[in-house]
Amino acid sequence: MMSKDQVQIVNEMYSKFIESEHEDSWDELDDALSHLDYLTNVEIMNETIILFEKHANGVIRCKLNHAQNKCVAPRIAEAVLAIIQLYKETGVLHVKNRYICEYYLALTHTKFIIVD
């Protein structure tokens, strides 16, 4: 099960991603997200785990050059880690957690999230 802090981070990221869905224009991120809709939960988690393990070897940040404490990318990574841990415990991927994982994958593929 997730700790209280993990639940808070996951909920925070889900809310942030839902907010961004209300933009009127279609962009590269939307394209990347639409491609992920065709994957199964197992495939989404496999991709997420592989990418997260790769990212764990560096410092996760966004493409903007600002202070790490103002960057959303590390918070996204914290949420993804909590989801990975829960998935490994239960084998279940809740639809909201899948959404966060899809965003993580799409943000990485569009080079919004990078690793130094």
H, E, C per residue of the chain = CCCHHHHHHHHHHHHHHHHHCCCCCCCHHHHHHHHHCCCCHHHHHHHHHHHHHHHCCCCEEECCCCCHHHCCHHHHHHHHHHHHHHHHHHCCCCHHHHHHHHHHHHHHHCCCEEEC
Question: What residues does 60 pair with on adjacent strands?
Answer: 115
Q: What is the pLDDT of residue 23?
A: 66
How do residues 62-87 score in pLDDT, each as one tens digit? 888 777 778 889 999 999 999 999 99
The dihedral through the CA atoms of 14, 15, 18, 19 has a sign that is negative
State pTM to two decimals.
0.88
Q: Averaged over 51-68, what is the pLDDT? A: 87
Q: Is pLDDT of 38 > 90?
A: yes
